[in-house]
């Protein structure tokens, strides 16, 4: 080298910069006419809060695509029978609210801004337990034992992380804390303390990512948080509708409902999605997409939608680390209230997790609704959902008769959630398996080309929860906004450099 004159160097630099600029600018229209700057795939809490975040930052050129006829996703309520009470088939609680400082919780605070929401803090001490012979067994339940063990589990989690030791399952930590399941009563408590929240047994749950659960420690006084049960007849979805209020454009032009995403075609330059609505195919292209579909949907390319080209190995690996837990909710309405005047009724079955918990909705729903909410999880939930509904009702009535006697009648109305078989969800929410690390969540949310991944599962601290989806939506929108501003500043800088070079050359 050393043979080029300064002027020649400048001309070379100019040409290189010119080429780079032309390439940066010309790569944009390669994708054809863009329908929006950002496509938001899915209108659950994550998608709607992503849209809100973009909107509030002045980015209004987005289009939300949703397969269902309404927004809310896994926040969804329905009448138990025509004209009956409206019950939540998906999320029901705002978890981790401090009653002395409720607005420290983003969702509770949102609810207040949205005109309030009807609900009550659940009192888990308001419970009575029966075994399968109808005997009240409350005195046999070792609540103190499991509470002590739980405290030790949290201690083990903190100590192991501080020491840089490897993660273990919650079950292993429970065993180290001398909690063993030796009776039906123990099995009931074991289910109540873990499966009721995670929808899978502690045998399958990561210690580090579940204990102590950030949901219960991050909002307000960590040792004072409770769960707020929503019974508002406008539904939990009222919160999602409130976030969406005013951002969907004239006649909701920024929202396409009943539109199924079939193929996501991605590249480093843009994203196009092939959609179907009423059997009519239409493609939408944008500079960016935010996908909020559940882990179950991402795992089942054949059933629901697929990527073109296939997602890279690293992305598939993190998607496949998780699974969709199964939390099944049922509601049954009876001619009268024959059960105890408590919030919860525990059923200490001979089979762990068999109709373990009833919630007396009659205490919370509007007057005259003799409704019980029933929860099951995991394999039992799946068996119950897949069989004929009348067989499930039959099993339910047998359990209630074993507790309350042969006078228990058939329910006058019955409804159950179908998230597990619904192709747009394929389960209730993401689990917290052994082996996940902070990096897993970072990789799960990381973009592939111009597709950003969002939704409840991508929330490092609150995966599985509504507020996890809320923060995930906000964070992915912010990541897209950052990428847009970097793109804009790269082009702007290149142009600036070009002008400087031209100026130097000319004078």
Least spacing, CB of residue 156 vs ligand NAG, in Å: 8
Sort 108 into a burial class: Cβ within 10 Å, 0-12 / 13-18 / 19+. Answer: buried
| The only residue of 337, 461, 497, 498 in contact with ligand NAG, by rule CB under 6 A | 461
Is there binding between residue 412 and ligand NAG (CB under 6 A)?
Answer: no
Query: How far is CA 419 from each of CA 42, 92, 226, 461, rounded to the nearest angstrom?
Result: 15, 14, 26, 23
Whose Cβ is closer to ligand FAD: residue 402's or residue 463's? 463
| Helical (H) or strand (E) element with 478 | helix 466-506
| The only residue of 205, 214, 362, 428 in contact with ligand FAD, by rule CB under 6 A | 428
Is there binding between residue 3 and ligand NAG (CB under 6 A)?
Answer: no
What mask of x and - would describe binding to ligand FAD in positions 317 to 356, judged by CB under 6 A?
----------x-x---------------------------
Sequence ranges of the binding site = 66-67, 261
Distance separating alpha carbons of residues 429 and 210, to the nearest angstrom:
14
Least spacing, CB of residue 463 vs ligand FAD, in Å: 8
Residue with tokens 């292993």, as numbered in its chain: 172
Tokens linked to 252: 């909701």
End-to-end CA distance of the chain: 26
Residues 152-171 that bind ligand FAD (CB under 6 A): none
Distance separating alpha carbons of residues 260 and 282, to the nearest angstrom:
10
Least spacing, CB of residue 438 vs ligand NAG, in Å: 4
Sequence ranges of the binding site for FAD = 66-67, 261
Q: 10 Å Cβ neighbour count for 505?
A: 12
| The only residue of 38, 91, 247, 432 in contact with ligand FAD, by rule CB under 6 A | 91
Whose Cβ is closer to ligand FAD: residue 132's or residue 376's? 376
Whose Cβ is closer to ligand FAD: residue 14's or residue 276's? 276
Whose Cβ is closer to ligand FAD: residue 129's or residue 456's? 456
Residue with tokens 């199924």, as numbered in its chain: 260
Residues 112-151 that bind ligand NAG (CB under 6 A): 120
- Under DSSP, the state recorded for 334 is -
Least spacing, CB of residue 202 vs ligand NAG, in Å: 10
For residue 293, give the nearest of 252, 262, 267, 255 by alpha carbon. Answer: 262
Distance separating alpha carbons of residues 104 and 184, to the nearest angstrom:
39
Contact segment (CB under 6 A) with ligand FAD among 69-77, 183-191, 389-397, 402-410 equals 69-77
Residues 436-495 that bind ligand FAD (CB under 6 A): 455-456, 464-466, 468-469
Contact segment (CB under 6 A) with ligand NAG among 22-30, 104-112, 255-263, 386-394 equals 386-394
Is there binding between residue 162 and ligand NAG (CB under 6 A)?
Answer: no
Is there binding between residue 223 and ligand NAG (CB under 6 A)?
Answer: yes
Is there binding between residue 417 and ligand FAD (CB under 6 A)?
Answer: yes
Is there binding between residue 485 and ligand NAG (CB under 6 A)?
Answer: no
| Helical (H) or strand (E) element with 128 | strand 127-131
Q: Is the peptide bond before 339 cis (omega within 30 degrees of 0)?
A: no
Tokens linked to 72: 């809310």
b/e map of 70-100 (b: 16 or more CB within 10 Å)? ebbbbbbbeebeeebbbbbbbbbbbbbbbee
Least spacing, CB of residue 308 vs ligand NAG, in Å: 30
Is there binding between residue 55 and ligand FAD (CB under 6 A)?
Answer: no
Q: Is the peptide bond before 286 cis (omega within 30 degrees of 0)?
A: no
Residues 362-381 that bind ligand NAG (CB under 6 A): 363, 378-379
Residue 21's Cα: distance from chain center in Å?
41
Q: Compute the chain's Rg from CA coordinates.
A: 27
Least spacing, CB of residue 286 vs ligand NAG, in Å: 21
For residue 130, give the nearest of 358, 327, 332, 392 by alpha carbon. Answer: 358
Sort 309 into a burial class: Cβ within 10 Å, 0-12 / 13-18 / 19+. Answer: exposed
Q: Of these partners, ligand FAD, ligand NAG, none, which one is at the site of residue 178 (CB under 5 to 8 Å by kind)? A: ligand NAG
Whose Cβ is closer to ligand NAG: residue 78's or residue 120's? 120
Q: Which residues of this chain interact with ligand NAG, rule CB under 6 A?
A: 120, 152, 177-178, 200-201, 204, 221, 223-224, 250-251, 363, 378-379, 388-390, 405-407, 438, 460-461
Q: Which residues of this chain interact with ligand FAD, rule CB under 6 A?
A: 42-47, 65-68, 73-75, 90-93, 95, 260-261, 292-294, 297, 304-305, 327, 329, 417, 419, 424-425, 428-429, 455-456, 464-466, 468-469
């Amino acid at each position: 080298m050393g043979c080029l004159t300064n002027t020649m160097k400048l001309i070379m630099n100019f040409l290189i910069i010119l080429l780079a600029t032309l390439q940066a600018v010309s790569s944009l229209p390669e994708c054809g006419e863009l329908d929006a700057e950002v496509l938001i795939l899915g209108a659950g809490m994550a998608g709607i809060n992503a849209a809100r975040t973009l909107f509030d930052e002045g980015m209004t050129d987005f289009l939300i695509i949703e397969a269902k006829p309404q927004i809310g996703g896994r926040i969804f309520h329905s009448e138990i029978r025509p004209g009956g009470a409206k019950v939540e088939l998906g999320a029901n609680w705002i978890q981790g609210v401090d009653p002395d400082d409720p607005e420290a919780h983003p969702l509770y605070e949102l609810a207040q801004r949205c005109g309030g929401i009807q609900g009550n803090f659940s009192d888990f001490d308001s419970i009575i337990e029966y075994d399968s012979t109808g005997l009240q067994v409350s005195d046999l339940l070792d609540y103190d034992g499991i509470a002590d063990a739980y405290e030790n589990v949290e201690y083990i989690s903190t100590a192991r992380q501080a020491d840089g030791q490897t993660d273990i399952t919650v079950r292993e930590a429970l065993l180290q804390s001398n909690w063993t399941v030796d009776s039906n009563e123990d099995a009931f408590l074991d289910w109540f303390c873990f499966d009721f929240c995670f929808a899978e047994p502690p045998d399958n749950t990561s210690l580090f990512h579940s204990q102590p659960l950030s949901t219960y420690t991050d909002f307000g006084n960590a040792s004072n948080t409770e769960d707020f049960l929503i019974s508002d007849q406008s539904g939990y979805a009222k919160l999602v509708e409130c976030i969406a209020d005013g951002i969907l454009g004239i006649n909701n032009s920024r929202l396409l409902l009943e539109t199924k995403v079939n193929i996501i075609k991605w590249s480093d330059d843009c994203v196009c999605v092939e959609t179907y609505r009423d059997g009519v195919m239409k493609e939408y292209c944008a500079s960016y997409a935010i996908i909020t579909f559940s882990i179950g949907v991402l795992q089942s390319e054949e059933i629901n939608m697929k990527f073109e080209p296939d997602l890279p190995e690293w992305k598939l690996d993190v998607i496949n680390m998780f699974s969709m837990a199964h939390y099944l909710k049922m509601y049954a309405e009876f001619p009268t209230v024959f059960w105890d005047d408590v919030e919860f009724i525990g059923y200490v079955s001979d089979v762990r997790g068999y109709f373990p918990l009833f919630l007396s909705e009659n205490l919370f729903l509007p007057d005259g609704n003799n409704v019980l909410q029933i929860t099951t999880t995991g394999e039992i939930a799946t068996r119950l959902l897949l069989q004929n509904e009348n067989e499930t009702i039959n099993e339910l009535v047998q359990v209630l008769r074993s507790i309350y006697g042969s006078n228990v009648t058939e329910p006058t109305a019955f409804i159950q959630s179908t998230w597990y078989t619904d192709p747009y969800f394929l389960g209730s929410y993401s689990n917290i398996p052994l082996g996940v690390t902070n990096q897993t969540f970072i990789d799960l949310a990381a973009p592939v080309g111009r597709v950003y991944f969002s939704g409840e599962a991508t929330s490092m601290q609150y995966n599985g929860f509504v507020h996890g989806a809320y923060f995930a939506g906000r964070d992915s929108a912010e990541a897209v906004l950052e990428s847009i501003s970097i793109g804009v500043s790269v082009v702007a800088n290149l142009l600036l450099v070009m002008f400087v070079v031209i100026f130097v050359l000319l004078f």
